[in-house]
Structure 1
Amino acid sequence: MANYVQNARTYEKWDKEGRGQGQKETYKPWLTIFDVPSEGKSHRIPSFKLKREITAFSDLEAARVYQLENDCSVIDYNEQYPLNRNRTLAIANRPEFAFTHPRIREFPIVMTTDFVVHYADRIEAEQIKPTSKLDNDRVLEKLKIEQAYWEEQGIKFLIKTEKDFPLDLRKNLQWLHQPQWYQTPEHLLRAFAAEFMELFTRYPNDRLADIAEYLELNSKLARLQEGNGLMLLRQLFAKHYLTFDLMVYFTRLKGRDISFNKSKVM
């Protein structure tokens, strides 16, 4: 059962549980789906990159999780990351802000950032909001506190909306997620990628599903059953042996739309 109460006793308990602490597979988010009402549909997404389950409180957050999972430049990411309450209270009380700090029943709560993303050369903090929320003055006040918090630490703060996640992009990212767990040996993936690229060059105007069938009938590497060609193709995309424009839904792609990732194949 959900329990949306936040108070000093709750925070002491969460601290002892290790919430907001850890890295990669050991990180625990500050908030779970049992602690706050979700914005629409909540999701529990297995992470191949972090080897743990990720909780997303909305469809937009889920889209960002799939995108982070697919991004090779992302080393780690923390969802529902807690901000130091003393700092956010101090920011809210500054003359240039003079905002009321977020509270529940007059208790100043710990603010959270939806995602803190770790790249090799930088860290970025992100809040995911539908554009309809950005017309709300109170929402904007909270975002300004959050922005000041991160910028004081030299960390870029970003707001992402549904405009950053068109429907075709979302569908492609979900399509590419599961094949990350497939365990075809790398030497075979490289060889299959080369066979596919040969077919893409030979049939530039044919759809991917058709080209996958050609591979099933003509592969020099293995005898493939019906459907295995498309499964291999998904795996090659998911593991970045082959690439395509993620803004174009995969069912509309043709041979000419696919590229080799030379760093993986050569």
Structure 2
Amino acid sequence: MSKRTLKWNEKKIEQFIKEGRGQGEGKDYKPWLVVQDFPTMGVATRILGKTTGRVHHFFSNTQLKYFYLLEWEDNVIDIREHYPLLDLEESLSDMSDLNLEKFRDKESKVDYILSTTFLITVLDSNGNKKYAARSIKYASELKKKITLEKLEIERRYWTEAKGIDWGIVTNKEINDIRVKNIEWLHPVMISKNQNGLENNELKDLCEGLLYRLNESRNSVRQTIIQYEQDYSLDKGIGIFLFKYLLANKIVLVDMDKPINLNCSFKELCRHRREVEN
């Protein structure tokens, strides 16, 4: 549990619910906890999401890294962070063996509203919605009794009461190289202005770059620089185009290996498809 900088009582719960926290889906969802609730936490991050089109709130680097992994998956259609277990007492029939006093404000004697880091909506192979809940922790946290007790509450809530797949993800289970690759592409993934290029212009330039890359024996970096010079493009447009090809999975690379622009295109590329409008 993070140390709270806000006073926790029944009035605060009512305020959160009135604000719509923990409610809605997609762009309309509001997380139960936001970075403004913890003004002293230096690791807090706000980031715009591609999947939802809204700003997400995270309180650790591991939470952010897992978010990037979710953003890359095509079958993920909604990501709700800090999802509150508002109906916990109604959902769990027997909590006699759970020490809920540990999750209670010492001054107000009001129980904290526990939350799970992510509630994820995915589409299965038949196009049906399914849900998965994930609790994100540093591996070192799993040595703490209070952390394990909270996770047990979450497990019972999701698996036993809700019938939803739940699991724990730690920093040791996250591929940092994959995360860094997605982080590098993410600004293009969420960009709407396409670097000022019209759709037809963007398509033509991407097709031209793809042809150059496929025919060139030089490195990707050298080919991009030459392409910019030949077409009198502003510096940086070539890198944007290459990122666009990767971000939209027109060009596929091994995301679990560093994207090395000093390699040739044939060394880097696994597969490519036609550029679409």
TM > 0.5 = yes
Which AA in structure 2 matches 1:212? I
Q: Is the aligned partner of 1:67 residue 2:69?
A: yes
Measure how far apart 1:76 and its partner are: 0.9
> Quick one: distance in 2 between partners of 1:164 and 1:265?
35
**TM-score, normalization: structure 2?**
0.81
Q: Is the aligned partner of 1:177 residue 2:178?
A: no
Measure how far apart 1:173 and its partner are: 1.7
**TM-score, normalization: structure 1?**
0.84
Report the equivalent of 1:164: 173
Q: Is the aligned partner of 1:85 residue 2:88?
A: yes
Q: Secondary structure at the match of 1:110?
A: coil
Measure how far apart 1:126 and its partner are: 0.8
Report the equivalent of 1:107: 110
RMSD over aligned Cα, in angstroms?
Answer: 2.7
Q: Is the aligned partner of 1:210 residue 2:212?
A: no
> Quick one: distance in 1 between partners of 2:44 and 2:116?
17
Q: Which runs of 5+ in 1 are unaligned?
A: none
> Quick one: distance in 1 between partners of 2:6 and 2:12?
10
Aligned counterparts, 1:194-205, within 5 A: 194-203=207-216
Q: Secondary structure at the match of 1:134?
A: helix
Write out per-residue CA displacement over residues 52-82 of structure 1, whole angstroms, 9 at most, x where no aligned residue.
2111111111112222223222111111101
Q: Which runs of 5+ in 2 are unaligned?
A: 125-129
Measure how far apart 1:234 and its partner are: 1.1
> Quick one: distance in 1 between partners of 2:110 and 2:11?
12
Q: Is the Cα–Cα contact under 8 Å of residues 259 and 268 in structure 2 kept in the other structure?
A: no
Q: Out of 138, 142, 146, which is 1:134 matched to?
A: 142
Report the equivalent of 1:248: 257
Write out per-residue CA displacement over residues 228-261 of structure 1, whole angstroms, 9 at most, x where no aligned residue.
2111111221222222122222236631221345
In the alignment of these two chains, the number of paired residues is 257
Q: Is the Cα–Cα contact under 8 Å of residues 207 and 251 in structure 1 kept in the other structure?
A: no
Q: Secondary structure at the match of 1:76?
A: strand
Q: Pick closer, same or farther for the CA change 1:89–1:250 going to 2, 3 Å.
A: same
Q: Is the Cα–Cα contact under 8 Å of residues 91 and 148 in structure 1 kept in the other structure?
A: no
Query: Could you list the runs of 4 or more consecutive aligned residues of structure 1 that deviate by over 6 angstroms after TM superposition?
Result: none
Which AA in structure 2 matches 1:257? L
> Quick one: distance in 2 between partners of 1:185 and 1:260?
26
> Quick one: distance in 2 between partners of 1:154 and 1:126?
14
Report the equivalent of 1:257: 268
Write out per-residue CA displacement over residues 147-191 of structure 1, whole angstroms, 9 at most, x where no aligned residue.
121112221112111123333223212211111214245555554
Which AA in structure 2 matches 1:208? V
> Quick one: distance in 1 between partners of 2:89 and 2:151?
17
